[in-house]
C-alpha cells in the first residue's frame, strides 16, 4: 500500500500531493551503515503512472520560442519529461512513508557517506561525499548535502521511533549548481542556479525513493519590489529575501521578478543554461 511523504521542515506537516518522475537514469549504489531499513510498503514511484504536466509544457513552449542555442535544446529536452503523479484519493496514501527534502530549495544532492557523522569533527575532509559548499560541517551539521541529510534524518528518526523506517524524496528541480550563492540562507530566485538531476527512482541509495522536480523549474519564488511591466506596479506580496544579494532582480542589470508561482522566463533560461540533468 502506498505511503505518504511529508516535508522534513514540518516533519508531520503538509502532505506531498504532487510529485514528478521520468525514472530514467542509473546512479552509483552506496553501501549505507545503518540499522535495517524496512519501511512499510514499496516505493510508490517505481512503475507509477506518471504523466507530462501540461501546464509545465505550455509555459516551456513560451520560453522555447524566444530561446536559442544550447538553452533552447535543454528546454526542448525536458519538455517531454513525465513530471506529475497525483495522490487524488486518500486511499492511495493512508500512512506516512517518509520526508520530502530540499523542497523548492537549491541544496546539492551530493553523495551519501558510509555513516551519518562521517564528515564531522574535521574527519574525511577530502572525501567526495564531504564536499560542503555551504560550510555546514563547520557548524557540526551533518547535512552537507541532501543525501547525507537523508542519512542523518533516518538515523535520528529511527532512534526516536524504532518502528518507523523513513524513506525520502529529494527535490532536484533547481540544485544543479553548488557554489552560486553568497549565503546559503538565501532562497529566492537564486542567480546562477541550474536544473538538477532529471527525475528518477535510481538514486543510488535504498533510503532515497526518488529524485523529483517538486518545485516546477521556472516558477518564481517571489517578486521584486517592482513587478515586471511598463506599469511599474508595487508587488503586494514583496518579501525582502527576494532582494538578497543572490536573487535575480537585486542588480540593476537584472530583470524584475514576477510574483511567486508565476512563470519567470528569464529564470528558466538561466536554469537551462546551468543545468546538470545527469547529476
268 is a domain residue: yes
Q: How far apart are CA 214 and CA 45, in angstroms?
A: 13
Residue environment code for 154-191, b if the CB has 16+ CB neighbours within 10 A, otherwise e: bbebbeeeeeebbbbbbbbbbbbbbebbeebebbbbbb
Q: How far apart are CA 260 and CA 224, in angstroms?
A: 10
252 is a domain residue: no
170 is a domain residue: yes
- Domain containing residue 32: 1-51+80-218+264-279
204 is a domain residue: yes
246 is catalytic: no
Is 215 labelled as part of a ligand binding site? yes
Q: What is the pLDDT along the chain (279 residues), one digit of tens a residue?
A: 334 455 444 333 333 333 333 333 333 334 444 443 445 567 877 777 777 888 899 999 999 999 999 999 999 999 988 866 666 655 655 677 899 999 999 999 999 999 999 999 999 999 999 999 999 999 999 999 999 999 999 999 999 998 888 999 999 999 999 999 999 999 999 999 999 999 999 999 999 999 999 999 999 999 999 999 988 899 999 999 999 999 999 999 999 999 999 999 999 999 999 999 998
233 is a domain residue: no
Reported pTM: 0.85
Q: How far apart are CA 259 and CA 186, in angstroms?
A: 17
Is 70 labelled as part of a ligand binding site? no
Q: Tell me which of 221, 239, 246, 254 is the catalytic residue.
A: 221
Q: Domain count for the chain, please give it.
A: 1
171 is a domain residue: yes
Whole-number pLDDT of residue 44: 74
Q: Grid coordinates representing 72? A: 533552447
The C-alpha cell 555513516 sits at 115
Is 187 labelled as part of a ligand binding site? yes
Whole-number pLDDT of residue 36: 39
Query: Can you tell me whether residue 60 is helix, strand or coil?
Result: helix
Residues 6+ apart with CB under 8 A from 119: 113, 125, 127, 129, 130, 132, 137, 142, 144, 148
72 is a domain residue: no
228 is a domain residue: no
Amino acid at each position: 500500500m502506498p505511503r505518504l511523504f511529508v516535508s522534513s521542515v514540518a516533519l508531520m506537516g503538509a502532505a506531498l500531493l504532487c510529485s514528478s518522475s521520468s525514472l530514467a537514469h542509473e546512479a552509483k549504489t552506496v553501501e549505507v551503515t545503518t540499522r535495517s531499513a524496512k519501511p512499510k510498503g514499496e516505493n510508490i514511484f517505481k512503475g507509477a503512472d506518471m504523466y507530462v504536466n501540461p501546464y509545465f509544457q505550455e509555459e516551456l513552449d513560451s520560453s522555447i520560442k524566444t530561446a536559442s542555442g544550447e538553452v533552447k535544446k535543454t528546454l526542448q529536452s525536458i519538455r517531454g519529461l513525465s513530471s506529475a503523479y497525483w495522490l487524488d484519493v486518500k486511499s492511495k496514501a493512508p500512512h506516512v512513508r517518509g520526508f520530502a527534502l530540499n523542497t523548492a530549495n537549491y541544496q546539492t544532492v551530493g553523495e551519501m557517506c558510509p555513516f551519518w557523522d562521517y564528515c564531522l569533527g574535521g574527519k574525511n575532509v577530502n572525501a567526495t561525499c564531504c564536499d560542503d559548499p555551504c560550510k555546514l560541517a563547520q557548524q557540526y551539521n551533518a547535512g552537507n548535502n541532501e543525501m547525507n541529510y537523508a542519512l542523518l534524518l533516518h538515523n535520528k528518526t529511527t532512534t526516536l521511533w524504532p518502528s518507523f523506517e523513513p524513506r525520502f524524496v529529494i527535490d532536484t528541480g533547481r540544485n544543479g549548481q553548488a557554489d552560486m550563492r553568497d549565503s546559503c540562507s538565501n532562497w529566492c530566485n537564486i542567480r546562477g542556479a541550474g536544473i538538477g538531476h532529471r527525475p528518477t527512482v535510481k538514486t543510488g541509495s535504498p533510503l532515497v525513493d526518488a529524485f523529483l522536480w517538486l518545485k516546477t523549474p521556472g516558477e518564481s519564488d517571489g517578486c521584486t519590489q517592482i513587478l515586471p511591466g511598463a506599469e511599474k506596479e508595487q508587488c503586494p506580496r514583496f518579501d525582502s529575501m527576494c532582494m538578497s544579494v543572490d536573487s535575480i532582480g537585486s542588480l540593476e542589470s537584472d530583470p524584475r521578478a514576477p510574483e511567486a508561482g508565476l512563470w519567470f522566463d528569464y529564470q528558466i533560461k538561466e536554469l537551462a543554461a546551468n543545468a546538470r540533468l545527469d547529476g
